[in-house]
Amino acid sequence: MAITSKPRVRVPAQAKAGEIIEIKTLISHEMESGQRKDSSGKTVPRDIINSFEAAFNGKPFFKADWFPAISANPFQSFFFKATESGEFTFTWKDDGGSEQKATAKLTVG
């Protein structure tokens, strides 16, 4: 199953120089672990988002590798020290090779 949902990202629009901001992300995905069986007894193939990466102005600063124990519709929250204005890029990749991206701008003043 390809990642088809639009991710939700919450980033403050503005921050003071040196301020630590919280970033929250959420994406809808069933996150099939590969442990379950269907009604005919066949194992349902694993299909999870296996990596998440956040970059600021093209430079990665946060990466998470996810495994089958991650719940459906994974939520990720983390912190970032604002030093300059720019754009965040968030990337989710799944087992099938599909990728979903989201962006958000930050103004430091």
Q: Tens digit of pLDDT per residue, the chain (109 long)? A: 567 778 999 999 999 999 999 999 999 988 888 889 999 999 998 889 999 999 999 999 999 999 988 889 999 999 999 999 999 999 999 998 889 999 999 999 9
Q: Is the pTM of this model over 0.95?
A: no
The residues near 43 (Cβ < 8 Å, ≥ 6 apart) are: 34, 35, 36, 37
Q: Are strands 75-81 and 8-10 parallel, antiparallel or unpaired?
A: unpaired
For residue 70, the SS3 value is: coil
Predicted local distance difference test score (pLDDT) of residue 39: 93
* 58: alpha, beta or left? (left if phi > 0; alpha if psi -120 to 50): left
